[in-house]
Chains A and B, each alone.
Chain A
Amino acid sequence: MAKAIDSYFDDLRNTRIWRSVFRSGTGSSTLHRSLAIQQNVFLHLFSTKVRRRMLGFSATWYLGTLTFGTFLILVSTGILLMLYYHPSVPQAYADTKDLQFVVSDGLFLRNLHRWSAHAMVFLVFAHMFKVFYRGAYRSPREFNWVIGVILLLITLFLSYTGYLLPWDQLAYWAITVGSNIASAVPVVGNKVHFLMLGGNLVNANALLRFYVLHCMILPLTAILFIAVHFWRIRKDGGLYHHQSEPRTIAVDAATAAKVDQ
């Protein structure tokens, strides 16, 4: 039965339409499997070959992949939320309440967006701790660590700008406090505060600016840096694997053999 299903897929792969889409050709040789990765616009960022051990849970705890997963959830739920949300002072709070109590499945989408945002911040930190304590940030991966720090900052700015959008008391005072922290920057602080809010107060201009940052500028910047971050994994020699571990085991085995003699 399994064989019959396999041959059905082989027939599908040999159709003219399939072959016009996937140019790598059919077959399961190493070359074909490498080409399938290399010639795909999305997959070509990644290495064509990965150590089987690196795909196990213990190697990375999947923290980077899970972070990207929450980002995808945030983009898809965020686009849907945008269909009911107006970034204007009279409507923003009412729209948020409408999403919770009036729009079908709005409560689910809003909560999914909110929880994924919290999860993403947590996972970014967990991913960075794992990379740090494993020593995976060291040469030749030091530049990818720098890109990771930029992605951490983008994640935090996304959280911060999204916080204002419900336009409730919590949002208003959080952004008041946060933007006043920005004005503590020497020399340019007050200018940064003015440009960030588009005025002197958290008001209509600030809401609109934060909306544009949250829904356009920051996600697009994030996508750009995520692409570079993934591509650099391949360029820097693939997923980091802990070289010292097998050597320690080998030494231990040799010592054990000597003791036995």
Chain B
Amino acid sequence: MSDEKRAMPADANEINRRAFFAKLGLGSLSIATAGTAVFAYQFLSPNVLYEPSPIVNVGKPESFPEDSVTLDVNSGIYLIHAKEGFFSLSAVCTHLGCLTAWKPELGIIACPCHGSKFNREGEKIEGPAPKPLPWLRTWVNDEGDLMVDRSTTIRPMQFVRV
């Protein structure tokens, strides 16, 4: 008891040994906690992904007749040959990520999950989709193949002429 009294600081601003070690301990514990959180976040975020390349070679322009819409199920894109030229749309619904389908008899793109409908240019006709289907960067490479970059969206109505 007398020891504790002696350990009490004379001035309220002065810090005694016990308070110093308590603060030091709490401080190191919070640093360790923050470090663990950062470590856990880093560990859970993969640095290398074995996912398919965003750039897809869709083939020769001649294989897409004019006024046709072709869905590539594996890459989730539409290659459309309109009168103005070629363009490609993402086939992944902007609502919750389902794969949409082209309905040739109605001339629309429809999502099987929650009923969103889009026209051939990707604009929404009806349904819960919050955004139109994005246009994807499309070009012709040196071999004359049509290429699509799924990771780059462009402004609509930019056609590729071959």
Contacts and interface: CB of A to CB of B under 8 A. Distances in A.
A194 B96 contact: no
A97 to B, nearest CB: 22
B49 interface: yes
B96 A198 contact: no
A28 to B, nearest CB: 51
B113 A203 contact: no
Given A176-B96, A177-B113, A201 B45 contact: no
B51 A177 contact: no
Nearest to A174: B113
A51 B95 CA distance: 54
Interface in A148-202: 173, 176-177, 179-181, 194-195, 198-201
Given A177-B113, A204-B50, A195 B96 contact: no
A199 B46 contact: yes
A25 to B, nearest CB: 45
Interface residues of B, number: 12
A205 interface: yes
Contact of A177 (B41, B46, B96): B96
Contacts of B97: 176-177, 179-180
Nearest to A177: B96
A28 B77 CA distance: 76
A20 to B, nearest CB: 43
A177 B98 contact: yes
A248 to B, nearest CB: 50
B44 interface: yes
A177 B97 CA distance: 6
A192 B41 CA distance: 11
Contacts of B44: 195, 198
A199 B49 contact: yes
B154 to A, nearest CB: 20
Contact of B46 (A173, A180, A198): A198
Contacts of B95: 180
28 contacts: A173-B98, A173-B113, A176-B96, A176-B97, A176-B98, A177-B96, A177-B97, A177-B98, A177-B113, A180-B95, A180-B96, A180-B97, A194-B45, A195-B41, A195-B44, A195-B45, A198-B44, A198-B46, A199-B46, A199-B49, A199-B51, A200-B49, A200-B51, A201-B51, A203-B50, A203-B51, A205-B46, A205-B49
Given A177-B97, A201-B51, 14 more contacts: A176-B96, A176-B97, A176-B98, A177-B96, A177-B98, A177-B113, A179-B97, A180-B95, A180-B97, A194-B45, A198-B44, A198-B46, A199-B46, A199-B49
Interface of A: 173, 176-177, 179-181, 194-195, 198-201, 203-205
Interface of B: 41, 44-46, 49-51, 95-98, 113
